[in-house]
Structure 1
Amino acid sequence: MASGPSDTRVLVVTTGGDAAGEESDVASSLSAHLPGQTVVRSSSTAAEYLRELGPTVDCVVAVGADADVVWTISETDPSIPLVVYGEEVLYTHVDAVIPSTASIDDLVARVQTEVSESRETNHLEEVNAKLTALSRYAKQITGCETVHDVCDRTVEATHDALDFDFCVLAFVEGDQIVPCCSTLPMDAERPIDLGEGVAGRTLETGEPQVVADMQSDPDATFKEREFRSVVSVPVGDRGVLQVVADEADAYDEQDVEFLEILAGYTNEALARLERETALRDERDRFHAFFEALPVPVAYVEAERSGEASVREINAAYERTFPQAADALGEDAADAFPTTGERRLVSDRLRDADPADQQIERSVREAGVEPFTVVLVPLERIGLSASGYLVYVPGTVPSDETRTGYSS
């Protein structure tokens, strides 16, 4: 559908015959009073016109048409408002009937109302369709496992969900803003300085930038190309998401809102990937330390449903305790031989503070030896609880703040 009053297209259907002169006068009056274009077609060609150009028509006015003609028109494209100027037609979809005794002003007013209401309905349907499409992409974007995939899905969403032709997603790298993924022509995909262009202005202000005509914007880059309009929205402080168009003043506030929603999904996905990378790095460093410890250590996890089980043991644990490897994957109740260890895990794994317990355990080729077992709970990330059991050889007196269990 057309986007403004000057783009309105109204199809006037006439029947000809004895009333041809009066119908022609009505069509001429509508053309004079309505903004945009008024197209006149006879009843014999109107249906064909609608089949070919229906999406460009805002309203159909049937002047003096009989029931058969009105029925044919209404069935050709029921989504287009239909106004009859003449007698009421029964059993046919008609949005409004203006008696032929009414004035042209009444007819014009009704046509304008139908066009306005139809456009509002179409606009809401378009908005809902885009929001639905964005919600589907939200699940894809926030579920991506790599930065490259996040970028691809974001740019894909600007085209498929939001119907923008030219888009670029660029990130801050050092003192430059570097395109990551783009549908721009190759010669427009180049880094710019951090404070340069509309992108730099977007990052500096932290606010969306809407440029109606880049050719007159002092900060705009790529003026050698014939791009005119641009919307630039920040992706957190990481970069910008931009769309550009060949025509001036191509974007409105709704376009900005959609892009901000999409940029929010992208920023959320990138933040999650950064957190996961940091957690993996931290876990890798901790596990390297864990493996190198000279004393026995066991790592236990408890899912949200189910008992805690042994997930890892270090080399010292395997060297110290007989059949230690058999504990891997086992529930704590089966993996640990002493009551003290089992109760320490079951009662204190979900605590915030460490706890210790004095126990005695069989060791390889040395009978039974005393140990102080220290449980170190970890921050819960996707688990009900997790922590490390550290076995310090010998008996270490517990202070009054620690709780111990008999082995």
Structure 2
Amino acid sequence: MPSGPSDTRVLVVTTGGDAVSRESDLTSSLAARLPGQTVVRSSSTAAEYLRELGPTVDCVVSVGADPDLIRTVSETDPSIPLVVYGEEVLCTHVDAVVPPSASIDDLAARVQAEVSQSRETNHLEEVNAKLTALSRYAKRITGCETVRDVCDRTVEATNDALDFDFCIVALVEDDRIVPYRSTLPMEAERPIGIGEGIAGRTLRAGEPQVVADMQGDPDATFKERGFRSVVSVPVGEQGVIQVVTKEADAYDERDVEFLETLAGYTNEALARLEREAALRDERDRFHAFFEALPVPVAYVEAERRGEASVREINAAYERTFPEAADALGADAATAFPTAEERRLVSDRLRDADLVDRKIERPVREEGSDSFTVVLVPLERIGLSASGYLVYVPEAVPTDESGTEYSS
């Protein structure tokens, strides 16, 4: 009984002439032992067949050891395994020689071994090619500046790098799963409840769902166009990536692994955008607080190991100090008039603890005033450093209602 992949195609090349009858018996016996399709061509038409249909052929068997025939066949498509059933021949593109003394069973076994090895090699080459293509998309996806762009690049990767035809990226919004980017028909691009469909099942399980035939899956939400196979992978807790096809049982573990890798890039990009949005909100809230403080405050920052400069000042700083306009954007060495302020920034900005100094500094319309200046260092990022200089006057300020502010 033949064993092996049923889609195997083997081309048997015969020499013809006086050996026609013997070769016919041999090819019939070989075909009976091989899975899939066995195609027989004579030496005069074999090369033409390979030129036209070479990519569909898994192995070529040359019956006989005609050097010219073997050379022609091998040079037409060197990527196809070539097995010679005959005496030893000198040809660099021959993968195996089975002597005539061997049985047909031995020949069939050798052909199947060559097919298996070739398919494994081709599979590994395909896997490596997809992984390489997918890695190129990693930077494109993780560098996106909007959620929409992340989803666009993700769908592009499923098509260009992984060769999937139909894909959808859907993200969680409140209690719904909302399509953001899709190559599916329009009727499939509709929001569903957080617990609905194969997408909802994927998020509940927190792991990929492989469906051999969605037409029989009770959770499937779109079946109108006859889609069958589905792979649905979670993008963290933020959504799902799904690929579908009209062929049943079309996806394997490797497809799942590819999509999980892609989902990792997508999740990283979305998480970064979420963090950045949260930081912007926090910064905006702090800036509002910074502006509303009744005491002078200056924000200073040093890029890596460079000198610190004044990046922001609040309204109270501008009202209090006459040189405020010149300080903004200036180096700390020239922005601050007292040696104590300059030393605080140069010596202690990269420290973790608060530190303060007593200073005398000119103020508007009143000559000079006494302050306790407090350096509040912020968390360092890399080799950069930043912090706030908060100026607490000796006379505690009050707001318009008379409420005192304390340090």
Q: Which TM-score band applies after superposition, normalised by the shorter structure? A: over 0.9
Say if 2:87 is the partner of 1:124. no
Say if 2:250 is the partner of 1:239. no
Corresponding residue of 2:282: 282
8 Å CA contact 1:14–1:65 kept in 2: the answer is no
Corresponding residue of 1:367: 367
Task: Give the whole-Å Cα distance in 2 for the aligned partners of 1:94 and 1:392.
Answer: 88
**Partner deviation per Cα, 1:244-293 (whole Å, 9 max, x = no partner):** 11011011111111111111111111010000011011111211222232
Displacement of 1:395: 8.0
Q: Secondary structure at the match of 1:118?
A: helix
Displacement of 1:327: 2.4
Q: Secondary structure at the match of 2:370?
A: strand
Corresponding residue of 2:18: 18
Task: Give the whole-Å Cα distance in 1 for the aligned partners of 2:329 and 2:382.
Answer: 18
Task: Give the whole-Å Cα distance in 1 for the aligned partners of 2:298 and 2:139.
Answer: 37
Displacement of 1:231: 0.7
Moved more, 42-51 or 328-337: 328-337
Corresponding residue of 1:84: 84
Say if 2:113 is the partner of 1:113. yes
Aligned residues: 393
Displacement of 1:381: 4.3
Task: Give the whole-Å Cα distance in 2 for the aligned partners of 1:221 and 1:140.
Answer: 31
Task: Give the whole-Å Cα distance in 2 for the aligned partners of 1:22 and 1:395.
Answer: 115
Task: Give the whole-Å Cα distance in 2 for the aligned partners of 1:268 and 1:60.
Answer: 47
Displacement of 1:45: 1.5
Q: Secondary structure at the match of 2:301?
A: strand
Task: Give the whole-Å Cα distance in 1 for the aligned partners of 2:380 and 2:291.
Answer: 21
Displacement of 1:380: 3.1
Displacement of 1:294: 2.4
Task: Give the whole-Å Cα distance in 2 for the aligned partners of 1:91 and 1:31.
Answer: 25
Displacement of 1:65: 4.2
**Partner deviation per Cα, 1:340-374 (whole Å, 9 max, x = no partner):** 11221122222223211111122233322211111
Corresponding residue of 2:158: 158
Task: Give the whole-Å Cα distance in 2 for the aligned partners of 1:224 and 1:33.
Answer: 43
Task: Give the whole-Å Cα distance in 2 for the aligned partners of 1:216 and 1:333.
Answer: 74
1:24-103 matches, within 5 Å, as: 24-103=24-103
Corresponding residue of 1:403: none
Segments of structure 1 that go 5 or more residues without pairing to the other structure are 397-407
Task: Give the whole-Å Cα distance in 2 for the aligned partners of 1:325 and 1:72.
Answer: 85
Identity of aligned residues (%): 84
8 Å CA contact 2:320–2:364 kept in 1: the answer is yes
Corresponding residue of 2:177: 177
Corresponding residue of 1:203: 203
Say if 2:268 is the partner of 1:268. yes
Task: Give the whole-Å Cα distance in 1 for the aligned partners of 2:44 and 2:255.
Answer: 41
**Partner deviation per Cα, 1:185-231 (whole Å, 9 max, x = no partner):** 11111112222111111111111111111111121221233011111
Say if 2:274 is the partner of 1:257. no
1:269-348 matches, within 5 Å, as: 269-348=269-348
Q: Secondary structure at the match of 1:368?
A: strand
What RMSD in Å do the two structures reach over aligned CA positions? 1.7
Aligned amino acid, residue 145 of structure 1: E
8 Å CA contact 1:23–1:64 kept in 2: the answer is no
Corresponding residue of 2:193: 193
8 Å CA contact 2:65–2:89 kept in 1: the answer is no
8 Å CA contact 1:297–1:390 kept in 2: the answer is yes
Aligned amino acid, residue 347 of structure 2: D
Task: Give the whole-Å Cα distance in 1 for the aligned partners of 2:17 and 2:330.
Answer: 93
TM-score, normalised to structure 2's length?
0.92
Task: Give the whole-Å Cα distance in 1 for the aligned partners of 2:388 and 2:316.
Answer: 14
Q: Secondary structure at the match of 2:44?
A: helix
Segments of structure 2 that go 5 or more residues without pairing to the other structure are 397-407
Aligned amino acid, residue 96 of structure 1: A
Corresponding residue of 1:387: 387
Aligned amino acid, residue 286 of structure 1: F
Aligned amino acid, residue 160 of structure 2: D
8 Å CA contact 1:47–1:72 kept in 2: the answer is yes
**Partner deviation per Cα, 1:5-45 (whole Å, 9 max, x = no partner):** 10101111112112222222221122110000011111222
Aligned amino acid, residue 162 of structure 1: L
Displacement of 1:53: 1.3
8 Å CA contact 2:169–2:181 kept in 1: the answer is yes
Q: Secondary structure at the match of 1:24?
A: helix
Displacement of 1:318: 2.5
8 Å CA contact 1:361–1:369 kept in 2: the answer is yes
Aligned amino acid, residue 209 of structure 1: Q
8 Å CA contact 1:60–1:83 kept in 2: the answer is yes
TM-score, normalised to structure 1's length?
0.92
8 Å CA contact 1:15–1:65 kept in 2: the answer is no
Task: Give the whole-Å Cα distance in 2 for the aligned partners of 1:320 and 1:175.
Answer: 51
Task: Give the whole-Å Cα distance in 2 for the aligned partners of 1:194 and 1:250.
Answer: 27
Corresponding residue of 2:400: none
Q: Secondary structure at the match of 1:44?
A: coil
Moved more, 217-226 or 75-84: 217-226
Runs of 4+ in 1 over 6 A off after TM superposition: none
